[in-house]
């Protein structure tokens, strides 16, 4: 288990679910991971928190004004100057979907599309830092971008979010970069060249991995709750991984780290 007071700059610091079935999703994830679904907040358009042992672990919401819920998990990257980050993203051919906007005293958020088409959020913390517990049952354990334009993606995130990139593989079969904290130790996220296997019509996208002590057992629970398996569990050097979807179609990943 990893605990922290704040996320390293540029790293994934939060995730929320944009779901067309708010009540169904609240039940599903509570039953799957043992999360507690907090009451929706009228002040924030019905946004609600999932907590684990009283600690916020994810957010959730339905339709927000002109933005229909598209049944996806969204990743947010940490910044200490959101205006500068948004300007840097635009200069690097990113596009702004939601301009920087304050969320009470919690922080300021924006939503962008990177030059390869992936949607990513940006969060400048105020009183709310985002994830404070990682790598334990039901908590986040990794975040990863699948893209058809690997080099453009790596250039964008290193320039806009000031990551250090380490190429882990550079072949047509496995082209992958881990993004590292330039001000300290540790891997922050990954970027995968998915040009060979992303289905036609599926855009580049970020994924979140949730830690589970037993991927196969969690899949069994998920199926019983009406979820589905997108990619079967397999052993890898990074643990036992699977790609799954909730009953509304939101895709996420499961990871049991290697022993």
Q: How confident is the model over 181-212, as pLDDT tens digits?
A: 877 677 899 999 999 999 999 999 999 999 99
Third-level CATH fold of 1-259: 2,3-Dihydroxybiphenyl 1,2-Dioxygenase; domain 1 (3.10.180)
pTM: 0.96
Domain spans of the chain, in order of start: 1-259
Q: How confident is the model over 87-136, as pLDDT tens digits?
A: 999 999 999 999 999 999 999 999 999 999 999 999 999 999 999 999 99
Give the whole-angstrom CA distance, residue 43 versus residue 28: 24
CA-based nearest residue to 74, from 127, 135, 133, 143: 143
Q: How confident is the model over 143-174, as pLDDT tens digits?
A: 999 999 999 999 999 999 999 999 999 998 89
H/E element, 37: strand 36-37
Q: How confident is the model over 69-90, as pLDDT tens digits?
A: 999 999 999 999 999 999 999 9
Q: Take residue 199 and report the two structure tokens written for it.
A: 């289905």
| Cross-strand pairs, 107 | 103, 125
């Amino acid at each position: 288990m990893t605990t922290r007071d704040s996320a390293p700059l540029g790293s994934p610091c939060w995730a929320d679910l944009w779901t067309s079935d708010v009540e169904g999703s609240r039940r599903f994830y509570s039953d799957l991971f043992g999360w507690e679904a907090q009451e929706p907040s009228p002040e924030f358009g019905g946004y609600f928190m999932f907590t684990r042992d009283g600690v916020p672990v994810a957010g959730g919401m339905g339709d927000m004004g002109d933005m229909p819920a598209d049944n996806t998990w969204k990743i947010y990257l940490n910044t200490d100057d959101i205006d500068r980050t948004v300007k840097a993203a635009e200069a690097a051919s990113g596009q702004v979907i939601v301009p920087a906007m304050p969320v009470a005293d919690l922080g300021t958020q924006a939503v962008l599309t990177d030059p390869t088409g992936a949607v990513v959020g940006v969060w400048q913390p105020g009183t709310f830092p985002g994830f404070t517990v990682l790598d334990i049952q039901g908590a986040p354990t990794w975040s990863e971008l699948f893209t058809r334009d690997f080099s453009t993606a790596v250039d964008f995130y290193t320039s806009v979010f000031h990551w250090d990139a380490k190429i882990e593989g550079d072949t047509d079969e496995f082209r992958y970069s881990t993004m590292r904290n330039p001000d300290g130790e540790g891997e922050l996220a990954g970027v995968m060249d998915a040009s060979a296997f992303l289905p036609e019509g599926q855009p580049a996208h970020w994924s979140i991995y949730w830690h589970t002590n037993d991927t196969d057992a969690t899949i069994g629970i998920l199926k019983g709750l009406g979820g589905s398996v997108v990619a079967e569990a397999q052993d890898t050097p990074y643990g036992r991984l699977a790609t799954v979807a909730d009953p509304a179609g939101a895709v996420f990943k499961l990871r049991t780290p290697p022993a």
